[in-house]
Amino acid sequence: MKRDPYANNLQVRPDGTLRHFLSIEGLDQALLTRVLDTAESFDAASQKNVRKLPLLRGKTVLNLFFEPSTRTRTTFDLAARRLSADVVNLDINASSAVKGESLLDTLRTLEAMRSDLFVIRHPQAGAAEFFARHVPEGVAVLNAGDGRHAHPTQAMLDLFTIRRHRPDLENLVVVIVGDVAHSRVARSQIQVLNLFGVRQVRVVGPATLIPSGVEQMGVHLYSSLDDAMVDADVVIGLRLQKERMRGPLLTSSEEYYQRYGITAKRLTLARPECLVMHPGPMNRGIEIDSEVADGPQSTVLEQVRNGLAVRMAIMALTMGAGPGLATESGQ
Ligand code: NCD
């Protein structure tokens, strides 16, 4: 696999614990398994109606979104509150390209607010890593999506969802369909699925939306979704990232749906229990049929719910509060 230019050892402390969460690359399976297991314990606590844990009491979390988001922002916000942190949400209009210098200025201003944890979403690849390089010791940075580079918490909640249904990851064939070229989600998913030894990751989509040399990421490239669906255990639809497309890369939505839409008919080509996933937001009738999106094999809403537990886990671990400390606060 090609080296990720934004991944480095910033993410892990010398004692092997998680410091920042910027990309899947640079993290190992043991550490990421700890994230999943911690998330399981948080999810179990919320099943038992434990609404709040005191792990981040006295800490301030700053949600910094330079791009729109519903699910990701809300679940990060809720995750921080469930851990008893104080949360500040900042939506920043990034319509004018933000350059390194001004990002640093923003960071310094925000630092003056003495936050302990920054959650950042930004249209520029490498923005979260840039923050991580400049924050003081003890402050953590979590990447909530940077350009088309990475969206590691989404990949972790997807893996968490898959593992829940199919712990036999080594047997699974996973199909990723759609706009891989512009998808930070796909990039992080491919990395994590390969790291966890999934049997085969297949990628399929219009040639204009598949990055050249995608096979070097450890995937099998298909040109037909029907072919890719054969024996699939999981199919993941991606959103067409129109805001990142330069020029007409798509002929028409109708043609896209005909060739790459996840339909009930296509699902019959896969294994009987094949999971249907999508990070959202979905374009119904283009990327996926409503019948499938709302059907029994869909995990779309479960993914959102799991995002809460996974983000709580990542926040707690970067703040040095592991599952052993996950005691109930009685609130
Ligand atoms: C993804 C994102 O923003 O990268 N969505 C999400 O996090 N829920 C995927 C997308 O926007 O297509």
Q: How confident is the model at residue 327 (pLDDT cuts 50, 70, 90)?
A: very low
In this predicted structure, what is the pLDDT of residue 99?
Answer: 54
Write out the two tokens for 23: 């990309």
What is the model's pLDDT at position 330?
Answer: 36
What confidence score (pLDDT) does residue 110 get?
80
Going through 189-261 in order, the beta strands assigned E by DSSP cover 200-204, 220-222, 234-237
Given this model, what pLDDT does residue 97 score?
45
For the chain, domains (ranges, CATH) are: 29-150+307-327 (3.40.50.1370), 152-304 (3.40.50.1370)
φ/ψ of residue 193, rounded to 5: -65, -40
Confidence of residue 95 (pLDDT cuts 50, 70, 90): very low
User: What is the rounded CA–CA span in Å between residue 292 and residue 34?
Assistant: 32
What's the confidence (pLDDT) of residue 200? 98
Tens of pLDDT, residue by residue over 108-125, are 878 888 899 999 999 999
Q: Name residue 60's beta-bridge partners.
A: 86
Q: What is the 3-state secondary structure (H, E, C) of 192-205?
A: HHHHCCCCEEEEEC
Q: Among residues 17, 57, 70, 99, which one is catalytic?
A: 99
Pairing between β-strand 173-177 and β-strand 117-122 as defined by DSSP bridges: unpaired
Each residue of 93-116: b (16+ CB within 10 Å) or e?
Answer: ebeeebeeeebeebbeebbeeebb
> What average pLDDT score do residues 136-161 get?
97
pLDDT at 323 over 70: no
Name all residues whose Cβ lies below 6 A of ligand 1: 69, 71-72, 145, 151, 154, 184-185, 239, 241, 279-280
Confidence of residue 322 (pLDDT cuts 50, 70, 90): low
pLDDT digit string, tens, across residues 26-40: 999 999 999 999 999
Is 72 an annotated catalytic residue?
A: yes
Considering Cα of 193, then 4, then 90, then 70, what sign does the dihedral take? negative
Q: Where are the beta strands (DSSP E) in the chain?
A: 60-65, 86-91, 117-122, 140-146, 173-177, 200-204, 220-222, 234-237, 275-277
Is residue 240 pLDDT above 90, yes or no? yes
Measured in angstroms, how far is the CA atom of residue 3 from the centroid of ligand 1?
Answer: 23
- What pLDDT, on a 0 to 100 scale, did the predictor assign at position 47? 86
What is the sign, positive or negative, of the torsion defined by CA atoms of 222, 228, 234, 240?
positive
Q: What are the tens digits of pLDDT across the range 37-73?
A: 999 999 999 888 888 999 999 999 999 999 889 899 9
* Active-site residue (options: 13, 34, 52, 71): 71
The span from the first CA to the last CA of the chain, in angstroms, equals 46
Question: Which of 124, 142, 151, 282 to mutate to test ligand 1, by most ligand atoms within 8 A of the CB atom?
Answer: 151
- Active-site option among 82, 121, 239, 278: 121
Per the annotation, the verdict on 121 as an active-site residue is: yes
Strand partners, 200: 173
What pLDDT sits at residue 317?
A: 97
pLDDT in tens, 256-266: 999 999 999 99
Q: How far apart are CA 191 and CA 193, in angstroms?
A: 6
User: What is the Å distance from ligand 1's center to 145 Cα?
Assistant: 8
- pLDDT, tens digit, 9 for 90 and up, residues 273-317: 999 999 999 999 999 999 999 999 999 999 999 999 999 999 999
Q: How far is the CA of 325 from the centre of ligand 1 (A)?
A: 31
Q: Has 242 been annotated as catalytic?
A: no
Distance 176 CA to ligand 1 centre (A): 14
Joined together, the tokens standing for residue 275 give 């999971």
Q: Which one of the listed residues 19, 20, 59, 72 is annotated catalytic?
A: 72
What is the distance between the alpha carbons of residues 271 and 257, in angstroms, rounded to a whole number?
Answer: 21
Taking the CA of residue 70 as reference, the ligand 1 atom at the shortest distance is 8
Is the pLDDT at 331 greater than 80, yes or no?
no
Please report which confidence band the pLDDT of residue 102 belongs to, taking 50, 70 and 90 as the band edges.
confident
Work out which ligand 1 atom sits closest to the CA atom of 185: 4
Residue 3 pLDDT exceeds 60:
no
Q: Model's pTM, two decimal places? A: 0.93
At 70-94, the pLDDT tens digits run 899 999 999 999 999 999 988 776 5
Q: What is the pLDDT of residue 94?
A: 54
Query: pLDDT digit string (tens) for 163-212?
Result: 999 999 999 999 999 999 999 999 999 999 999 999 999 999 999 999 99
More confident residue, 85 or 248: 85
Candidate from 133-137, 268-272, 292-296 with smallest mean pLDDT: 133-137
Active site (annotated) includes residue 184: no
Ligand 1 centre to CA of 70 (Å) is: 9
For residue 328, name the pLDDT band (cuts at 50, 70, 90). Answer: very low
